[in-house]
Amino acid sequence: MSGKRANGEGSIYPYKNGFAAYVWVDTPDGKRKRKYVYGKTREEVHDKWIKLHTEAKNGPVVTRHRTLSVFLAYWLGEIVKPNLAPLTYVSYEGSVRLYINPHLGAKRLDKLTVRDVREWINKLAATCQCCVQGKDAKRRREAQRCCAIGECCEAHPSRRVVQAARDALRAALTHAVAEEEISKNVASLVRVPKPRRKRIKPWSVAEAGRFLADCAARGDHLFAAWMLVLCLGLRRGEVLGLTWKSVDFETGEIYVDHQIQRAGREILHRETKTEESDDFLPLPGLCAKALRMRRAQQIGDRKAAGELWQDTVGLVFTTKYGTPIEPGNLTRMFALRARRAGVRVIPLRNTRHTCSSLLVALKVHPKVAQRILRHSQIAMTMEVYAEASEEEVRAAIGKLSDAMGGSGTD
């Protein structure tokens, strides 16, 4: 075909080993610029030129595309960090730095394809992260034991890690689409295997009662925390974030509205995740008694610490110097106490499943239990009560009450 331009194709011209064309477009920053397209044949360039004309009519068009790593840095710094929870930023930043950028960071944002993402996910799942991240190489020479000495430990990322990395990329590309840098989110078109959740049998009331009775008998300074976790279903962060201002002994209520979180190198005392998580919860008698015991313990800790005491917003549960308790340490201490009490070790988060049965055993009124369990219908609460009203269940709580020095109704 000759190089003669057809009607209406004044901006298509021979270029190097093919053809090029341009269209005047409005950019997202409000400027007027030329946008170029290239191809080996006039027909190929003409199709791109027509498509570009259509895009220009529909709205702003980006003229210079960033690499994925450059866009991700912008997304983390300008979108995620100022607007989302600190823990979300830490999670996304880790996925970008460790798993996305090493494989896909150099690719142009607008050139990223579904195939690229699929191949990345498959490669990530099969790659030893100890080798790639040089984990063993960072150890002292005498402590190196695997990848650094030529013995790959095959530390492949779990399904949960792979899914988190894909989700981070999908979230970033969703924003790229919203800012009209790309036309579609290719990460959302790639499926990843869902991580299988291991089902763990929650404690029975007898097991929970044995655990609490052992902690009470030993004067455990975290006994009240275990009571709130097991009897009110509070989450780890909610327990650690509880302040004395939120405890009302006269009305028999606590207000759950803050949590303690580890975000990177910081421990944060911040609001709960959603407004729905904030609530006034009734305090059963034994829980109130446990909190009074905790207050007396903390007063003793404050006197013993003297000038070393650090008052951190009046937290209920602190170290012996008044500082916040590391969330990971609470999880480890829970497991240690379970072993000491001779009961099955379960994850701390699984204790919420035991809460409803314990409320039955504590003879908490169904309407009060409905508030604590946050059931929308009383019928749901009554089903729980019908299933867990055996006398042996109550006997376990009787032992707990004895370990605490009698009735917990005061």
For the chain, percent of residues with pLDDT exceeding 70? 84
pLDDT band at 2 (very low <50, low <70, confident <90, very high): very low
Read off the pLDDT of residues 341-363 as tens digits, 9 standing for 90 and up.
999 998 888 887 777 777 776 67
Same domain, 213 and 332: yes
Read off the pLDDT of residues 255-297 as tens digits, 9 standing for 90 and up.
888 888 887 777 777 777 655 455 678 888 888 999 999 999 9
pLDDT of residue 406: 56
Same domain, 236 and 95: no
Same domain, 263 and 169: no
pLDDT of residue 381: 66
Long-range contact list for 85-92, CB < 8 A, 24+ apart? 85/270, 85/273, 86/261, 86/263, 86/264, 86/266, 86/268, 86/270, 87/261, 87/262, 87/263, 89/263, 90/263, 90/264, 91/164, 91/168, 92/168, 92/171, 92/172
Residue where a domain terminates, one of 160, 189, 218: 189
Report whether pLDDT(126) > 70.
Answer: yes
pTM: 0.66
CATH number, domain of 378, equals 1.10.443.10
Look at the chain and report how many structural domains it folds into: 3
Tell me the C-alpha to C-alpha distance, in Å, between residue 308 and each of 296, 302, 314, 320: 18, 9, 15, 10
Same domain, 163 and 256: no
- Please identify which residue in the block is written with the tokens 């207000």: 255
Mean pLDDT of the chain: 83
Task: Tell me if 194 is assigned to some domain.
Answer: no
Read off the pLDDT of residues 355-396 as tens digits, 9 standing for 90 and up.
777 777 667 777 776 766 666 677 766 766 655 545 544 555
Lowest mean pLDDT among 84-93, 143-152, 191-200, 308-317: 191-200
Same domain, 236 and 169: no
Half-sphere exposure of 272 (CA within 13 A, CB side): 19
Report whether pLDDT(106) > 70.
Answer: yes
pLDDT of residue 392: 46
Task: Tell me if 197 is assigned to some domain.
Answer: no
Same domain, 35 and 173: no
Same domain, 372 and 265: yes
Single-letter code of the amino acid located at 15: Y
Pairwise pLDDT comparison (396 vs 316), residue with the higher score: 316
Residue where a domain terminates, one of 189, 223, 257: 189
Report whether pLDDT(401) > 60.
Answer: no
Q: Which of 113, 301, 90, 96 is CA-nearest to residue 190?
A: 113
Pairwise pLDDT comparison (369 vs 24), residue with the higher score: 24
Report whether pLDDT(51) > 50.
Answer: yes
Mean pLDDT calculated for residue range 10-33: 81
Task: Tell me if 299 is assigned to some domain.
Answer: yes
pLDDT of residue 179: 82
Task: Tell me if 77 is assigned to some domain.
Answer: yes
Same domain, 174 and 252: no
Read off the pLDDT of residues 330-339 as tens digits, 9 standing for 90 and up.
999 999 999 9
Mean pLDDT calculated for residue range 22-28: 82
Report whether pLDDT(168) > 80.
Answer: yes
Same domain, 103 and 223: no
Q: Which residue segment(s) compose the domain that 283 sits in?
A: 205-403
Same domain, 26 and 130: no
Report whether pLDDT(404) > 80.
Answer: no
CATH number, domain of 159, equals 1.10.150.130
Half-sphere exposure of 70 (CA within 13 A, CB side): 10
Task: Tell me if 237 is assigned to some domain.
Answer: yes
Residue where a domain terminates, one of 189, 224, 257: 189
Task: Tell me if 247 is assigned to some domain.
Answer: yes
**How far is Cα 319 from Cα 369, in angstroms, rounded to an integer?**
31
pLDDT of residue 25: 84
Task: Tell me if 50 is assigned to some domain.
Answer: yes
CA 80 from centre of chain: 14
Task: Tell me if 364 is assigned to some domain.
Answer: yes
Mean pLDDT calculated for residue range 300-317: 89
Mean pLDDT calculated for residue range 211-221: 91
Same domain, 181 and 234: no
Same domain, 280 and 379: yes
